[in-house]
Structures are given as structure tokens and as C-alpha cells.
Structure 1
Amino acid sequence: MTTGTAAPPSRLALYLDLVRWDRPAGSLLLLWPTLSALWLAAGGFPGWHLLAVFVAGTFLMRSAGCAVNDVADRDFDRHVKRTAQRPVTRGALGVREALGLGAALAFTAFLLVLTTNLATVLWSVAALAVSIAYPYAKRFVSMPQAVLGVAFSFGIPMAFAAVNGGADWSGARVAGAVPPVAWALLLGNLFWVLAYDTEYAMVDRDDDLKIGIRTSAITLGRWDVAAVMGFYAAFLASWAAIGAALGLGPAYFAGLAVAAGIAGWHHGLIRGRSREGCFRAFRLNHWLGFAVFAGVVADAALR
């Protein structure tokens, strides 16, 4: 009987680990508000083409973002318990290789966007720029979660542009392709991102303080739990007000009520500020977003 060290992981396994393929929660946090906006923009089912573009594009861009983030944070991540074994951080993948994979994924997503219209393509470029800027924001911004909030909410104006922006690439309908309601939804969704990403930052607060990373959990200090609940309330209140302005029905508000119940449950998870409780609250946030999306879909179906 022979013994020895375990075989190193394959390149495919490292790539899948890099893009968090086995941890889809981050993609779902991006997906549900995007699909909610798509349904609202279309007044119901948006068609299989747009649904496929936005679902696939969401997963591709989140995966590309993970690759860029890990390269940008590799010198910090080795000092954080939760991230020390990421492929780039531990040297299993090189920087160029990780960036090459991220670029390939982002380019594939861009090819999908090219099947829509000029307005959506232009907004996708802006979304990409914000996504690239986010990993570096924590070096300069006291609450970089706000930058992530913009990045994770950009699917909303893109959804409205895809539905309303025209498909002839003439540019004639680009102006006004994204109505004010889309920006109101984006602003409201920003508060949800602040809520769940502050929970995420609470997990690593001790490590981040040691290495000098700026996060909302550090900036908010002892007001972190109260702020998270305030962010949840602002998100739900703003989407409720928008729903009322749009004349949405009881099914939509039922979805918001379920989301509010989930937010209340999260208070119990994070009030002790334990790593386990905060991380669980973050990981399960996608159910809150799904509840809102389900309300949007149900309301459209009942009309």
C-alpha cells in the first residue's frame, strides 16, 4: 500500500473554483432584481430570447467579476481566513490566466448583449466599467458596498433598455429607452445590496481591520445591525412605493411582505455579529430577492 499527497486539482476545477461555480448565491443576488425589472419593463413575460440573454449574461458577468476581484484582492485575501485558499491567492492560478478567463467570460456575455439593441449594448459598457472599478473602491471609499450596489443593480436599466430601446441599431430610440422608473428601481435596489453586502463585510471585519481594508461594516461600527435593517426597510419601502405608482396588485405586495419577513429573520441572525450568523444571512439573501421577483411574476400573471 502506497501513500502520498493528493493529486493537484485540474485546471477546470481551478477555473470553477475561481468563478464560484458551486456557490451561486452571488449570481442569484444579481439575477432576481434584473429579472424583476425585465418583467416590469415588458408588462409580463419578456420572451425567451431576452430571458436567456439576461440569465446567461448574469451568470457570466458575475463569474468574470469574481476573477477580477480575486486578482485585485490577492494580496489582501491571503490575510483573511475565509479567502486565503482562493486559487489566485494561494498561487494555483496565475494573474494573467485568471484575467484571461475573466475576459473570455465577459466577452461571451457581450456577444449575448449584441443580440439585443444599441441602447442595451451602451449600458452594458457602463456596467462593465463599474464592475471593474468595484474591487479597487475599498482602497479609497469608506463604503465600497455602495459601488457594488450600482454594479449589482445595472441589470435594471439594461432590462428596460432591452425591452424599450428599439432593435434596429439606428440609435433613434436610444434616448428615453430607460424611463425614470428604472432608475428609481435601481436606487431602491442599491439599499438591498448595502444590506446584504454589509452582512458579508461583518464576517471579515476583524481581518479587514488588521489589513486596512475599508468596508461598510467598519465604517458603521456599532450601528452596523441597525443600518442593515434600515437598508432593508429603505429597499422594501421604495419598491413598494414604485409598485403603488405603477398600479401593481396584491400579489406584488404579498411578495414584498414575504421579503420583509425574511429581512426580519435576518435580524436574528446578525444581531450577535457572529461570523456564522452574518455569513448565513448573506448566503440566504437570494430568497428575499426571489420573493420580490415571485410577486412581480404573479402580479403580471393575474392581470
Structure 2
Amino acid sequence: MQDPKTVPDGQVADAVKDNWVDIHAPAWSRPYLRLSRADRPIGTWLLLLPCWWGLILAMIHDGNTSWHDLWIAVGCGIGAWLMRGAGCTWNDISDRNFDGQVERTRSRPIPSGQVSVRGAVIWMCAQSLLALCILLTFHQAAIAMGVLALLPVAIYPFAKRFTWWPQVFLGLAFNWGAMLAWAAHSGTLHAPAIVLYAAGIAWTLFYDTIYAHQDTEDDALIGIKSTARLFGKNTAKWLRRFLMATVGLMGLAVIYSALPRASVLAMVLALAGPWAMGWHMAWQLRGLDIEDSGKLLQLFRANRDTGMIPLLFFAAALLA
């Protein structure tokens, strides 16, 4: 993360160094792309990976695959980028009076004056409408799931004002795709998808608690709540609990998905996914230092790999 005091004009403090937005995007588009966090792609990955988990486990559960599943995977990718952007825009609109008081976020487009609130609302609507166009190509059950997803997305920016557990609301929003992609493939929702959704929420509690520790001092000054502030010095203990919940719930989702049809080899490969994911989360715990903002951001971004690990094992199980 760049030093917020020395961030070049227009750039955002916690953007990825030398990102494509700040280097290659047309100048007129940069404030809006920064508003969508296009210069910080980790959020798109964290939104997308549960979608792909749900899709592959649904294919294992049904024992059926088709070319439409390829479109579901691609559509989820585009939709995750758009809806992450729309969600972040909504978050920044809602938090515009807080972001200017937090060192890490005061360089964001709205508090820094790069984008007006009116412009942000128009940009949010444009992204949402494009995402809707993609959603309408999925099964009716998935369309209904997509509409329902707007509820946790709408609530999340306000959660940190009334609960110490806003990360739960982020988990509800960010992992919804596990159920949506399952429904897009199967045309309905089965129990394993719900268990997988719960596993994703536990994972979100893990990584976003790490992320929230970057802002604990500023959050305390302005009265913003978070699990990072709630847990304090006991954070590592709570993260271990979230690790165990993630691995255990994902393991159950795998078993429920694979039992009807999968071979022994496929079951073993699929179960290796949450096991390996747990080891990667344990590696993050070993490097945790809640006083080191740079390390916290590094560990948070490492969760792209954390979520990719079970996906690779699920794909191998599908092919077994």
C-alpha cells in the first residue's frame, strides 16, 4: 500500500502498484474505474470464486455438464466484475461522510472530489443494468437469486454503524454467488449449495477481519464498528475458529455434493480442496501482525490464492 500522505493526485492509497487503471485507462475514465475498485482486483476474485465453487460442485452433484455451463462461468466472471464495481460504488456513496476521515480511504474518488455523488449514482446504475443483462441469460431460479442478492448488498455499508459484526453482512453479499451459480446450472437450489454458502461466509469473516485491522484506530475515532475492533488482541484466536468453520462446512458441502454420483477418487480429490485451503489460511495466521498495515494488506490479497485452491481440486474431481 502506498503512503496516503504521498499518493499522487488521483490515485488511491491502497491501489495495486502500477495497476492498469492508473497507467493505461483513458484519463476521463480513471475516477469511475477507481470508484469500482478496478485498480484493486482482489475484491472481484473474492466475489467470483464462490460462484465457480458452486458451479463445479453443482456439476459434480448432478453428474451433468453442458456448453451452457461454460457461459455460466464466463457470465459469472463478467457479472462479478460489474457487481463488485456497483457494490463498491454504493459503499462509497453511503460512506462518503466517513471516508474523508480515514487516512487510507480519503483518497477515494468521492471524498477526494474526483466524482460527484450524482455521477457515482449514474455509474452504479449503469454497472447494475449491464449485470442484469447477463443475469437474464441464466435460469429463472438464478435470476430470482440475483434479485434477492441486492438486499445484503444494500444493507452492508450501513452494518458497521449498528453491529460489531459487519463482516457477516459482507459475507452474506460476497458469497451469494455460490447459490446463484448452483441454481444457474441445476435450475433449483440444493442443500449443499447452502452449506457451501455458509463456508464462504466463514471465509469472509477470516479475510475481512484481517483487512479491517488496517483501520482500527481511525474507526475507533469516528465510531465505526468491526470484528477487528471487537476481537482486538484476540484476533488470532477468532481467525482459527473461522478457519475451522470454513474447512468443516466446505467439507460437508463437498460430501453432500459428491455422494450421489461421484467416484471414490473424485470424492478424495474434492475433499482435498478444503483441506488444502485450510493450510493456506493457517499460513496466513503464522504471518499475522495486526500492527503492520502493509502485512495485513498482503495477507488479505493472498486470499485470491486461498479461494483458488479448492476450485482447482473441485475441477480435478469433476474430471476424475
Normalization by structure 2: what TM-score? Answer: 0.85
Counterpart amino acid of residue 27 in structure 1: T
In the other structure, the counterpart of 1:78 is 100
In the other structure, the counterpart of 1:109 is 131
Counterpart amino acid of residue 215 in structure 2: D
In the other structure, the counterpart of 1:170 is none
**Cα offset, 1:7, TM superposition:** 8.9
**Residues 300/87 of structure 1: CA separation in 2 closer, same or farther (3 Å cut):** same
CA distance in 1, matches of 2:82, 2:9: 29
In the other structure, the counterpart of 1:12 is 29
Matched, 1:256 2:267: no
SS in 2 for 1:90: coil
**Cα offset, 1:130, TM superposition:** 1.2
1:27-81 Cα offsets, whole Å, 9 max, x none, are 1011111101011112275622212211111111001111111111111111212
Matched, 1:216 2:259: no
**Cα offset, 1:269, TM superposition:** 2.4
**Cα offset, 1:272, TM superposition:** 4.8
In the other structure, the counterpart of 1:66 is 88
**Where do 1:144-293 residues align within 5 Å?**
144-165=166-187, 177-245=188-256, 246-247=258-259, 248-293=266-311
1:243-289 Cα offsets, whole Å, 9 max, x none, are 23434522223332331221111112224542122111111111100
Matched, 1:25 2:42: yes
Counterpart amino acid of residue 85 in structure 1: S
CA distance in 1, matches of 2:73, 2:178: 13
Counterpart amino acid of residue 20 in structure 1: R
CA distance in 2, matches of 1:264, 1:42: 29
Picking from 148, 159, 177, the partner of 1:126 is: 148
SS in 1 for 2:164: coil
**Cα offset, 1:295, TM superposition:** 0.9
Matched, 1:91 2:116: no
**Residues 105/282 of structure 1: CA separation in 2 closer, same or farther (3 Å cut):** same
Maintained 8 Å contact 2:214/2:296: yes
CA distance in 2, matches of 1:78, 1:233: 37
CA distance in 2, matches of 1:244, 1:121: 27
**Residues 83/7 of structure 1: CA separation in 2 closer, same or farther (3 Å cut):** closer
Counterpart amino acid of residue 252 in structure 1: A
In the other structure, the counterpart of 1:169 is none
CA distance in 1, matches of 2:9, 2:252: 56
Maintained 8 Å contact 1:39/1:45: no
Maintained 8 Å contact 1:38/1:160: yes
SS in 2 for 1:87: coil
In the other structure, the counterpart of 1:51 is 73
Maintained 8 Å contact 1:37/1:182: yes
1:68-107 Cα offsets, whole Å, 9 max, x none, are 1111111111121211100111111000101111111011
CA distance in 2, matches of 1:196, 1:260: 13
In the other structure, the counterpart of 1:172 is none
Picking from 155, 158, 170, the partner of 1:136 is: 158
SS in 2 for 1:83: coil
Maintained 8 Å contact 1:270/1:278: yes
Maintained 8 Å contact 1:225/1:271: no
Indicate the RMSD between aligned Cα atoms, in angstroms: 1.8
Q: Which consecutive residues of structure 1, in runs of 5 or more, have no partner in the other structure?
A: 1-5, 166-176
Maintained 8 Å contact 2:210/2:290: no
In the other structure, the counterpart of 2:58 is 41
**Residues 11/45 of structure 1: CA separation in 2 closer, same or farther (3 Å cut):** farther
Question: Which one is further off, 285-294 or 115-124?
Answer: 115-124
CA distance in 2, matches of 1:252, 1:77: 42
Matched, 1:100 2:122: yes
Normalization by structure 1: what TM-score? Answer: 0.89
Q: Would you say how many aligned residue pairs link Structure 1 and Structure 2?
A: 286
**Residues 7/38 of structure 1: CA separation in 2 closer, same or farther (3 Å cut):** closer
CA distance in 2, matches of 1:207, 1:159: 37
